[in-house]
Amino acid sequence: MMRSMYSAVSGLRIHQSKMDTIGNNIANVNTVGFKKGQVTFQEVFSQVVRGASAPAGGKGGTNPQQIGMGAAMGTISTIHTKGPGQRTDNPTDLMIDGEGFFVVSDDPNFGNRYYTRAGNFTLDRDGNLVTGDGFMVLGYAADDEGNILSDVTNMRINMSETKAPTVTENIEFRGNLDSRFANNESRKIDTVIYDTLGNSYTLTFEITKESNDNWKLSVSRLTDRATGNYTEDVDTILEGNELDLVFDNGTGKLISIGGEDLTADPKPEIKVSLAIPDEIEFDTDKDGEDLAEPTAPSGTFRNITLFDSEDESTIKSISQYANEMDFKPYMLNGNTSGTLEGFAIDDKGIVTGVFTNGERKALGQIMLAKFDNPMGLQKLGGNMFVDTRNSGEPQYGGAAVGGFGDISPGNLEMSNVDISLEFTEMITTQRGFQANSRVITTSDEMLQELVNMKR
């Protein structure tokens, strides 16, 4: 009878522990990124009353006789199934759609690393992406050109960051030259270019029809957009200041550039560039008056490629049809400097800065970690985990590659607690606790009857 009481006491203890776990699950039903606990039981030592025997003579064998000594806690496991998503439209709220954990740290050297599925991040006064408790979110740094590096750093969005100006190195001509133009009829076309300091200039070309299939391209003016001053002394910018463009009257396709036959076999090597000299000066103001003191650009220029036989896009976009004249130059690169005015995070966790000059640049990439056995992680509170000997070493990488899940910005992963399941578990746990208490009560009554036998 004493055994039954102690067995029932062990049952009370484990059912109470299971109820504690259920209570914690229900308490965290709305906790971001929470992973529920699951309790399993196991029996403990059983007392052998009689051992098993083998068949002998005319008698068969007998099975062992054992009396169980109660129950014990088997496991308390953390279930790492993905919780449902909640849309917030907050750009710093992030959800991992798949495997992985965000990596955070409170160590300036990023030695202490913790792991979380809760992506409810914010920015601090220095632009650091942090958790609600101030732990810094770790990621991979980017260089000045926006290339993602392998260096681990804290993710920082510096709103005072600037994007350096870029110089123009490529201009591409696109569009149609109207075959209905009369001979010697011309059209002026222009585009904007930038020097090494981000100063902008208007480069004006003139396209003139020479004959049915021949057009001449030349440079006519370079204008400083800041002051309106310009110069027409541009004969040296384009070699010879004239470039022949010849078309096939049958197809309207470009067949020759600068006397080089594009239909030849093998194809000729063609590279036509502009070279704006460093000593160029603007000698005329915007009203057409000569300047007493010509002005010069503060920055310098690079050679600007117009046509390159190794890049078919610089050639194939030009035609001569009896259609509207829309032939014009397009600047492919070059811009002024800009300051950061916003940012966005994509599904790979790359933080892209948007600058006032319209350009974009990667500021870094959020780092994820995964484990061979995520159930082996130890909870620390604050929605964070730490690795243990049984979780395996953390494997780091970027989102959407190498088995890591995508990052969904503007969303949060909610708790994976199922209320209906928890209520069902609560009922069975309560009944188990109740039944064990009845065993103790009944055993007590049996002991009382035993004591009363003396009367």
> What mean pLDDT comes out for the span 262-269?
89
Taking residues 207-223, what's their average pLDDT?
95
Is the pLDDT confidence value at 221 over 80? yes
Mean pLDDT calculated for residue range 409-424: 96
Tokens 């000729």 found at: 268
What rounded mean pLDDT belongs to the chain?
93
The CATH class, in words, for 171-331 is mainly beta
Summarised one tens digit per residue, pLDDT across range 289-325 is 999 999 999 999 999 999 999 888 899 899 999 999 9
Answer yes or no: is pLDDT of 455 > 70. no
pTM comes to: 0.79
* Span(s) in the chain for CATH 2.60.98: 171-331
Q: Tens of pLDDT along 153-208?
A: 999 998 888 888 999 999 999 999 999 999 999 999 999 999 999 999 999 999 99
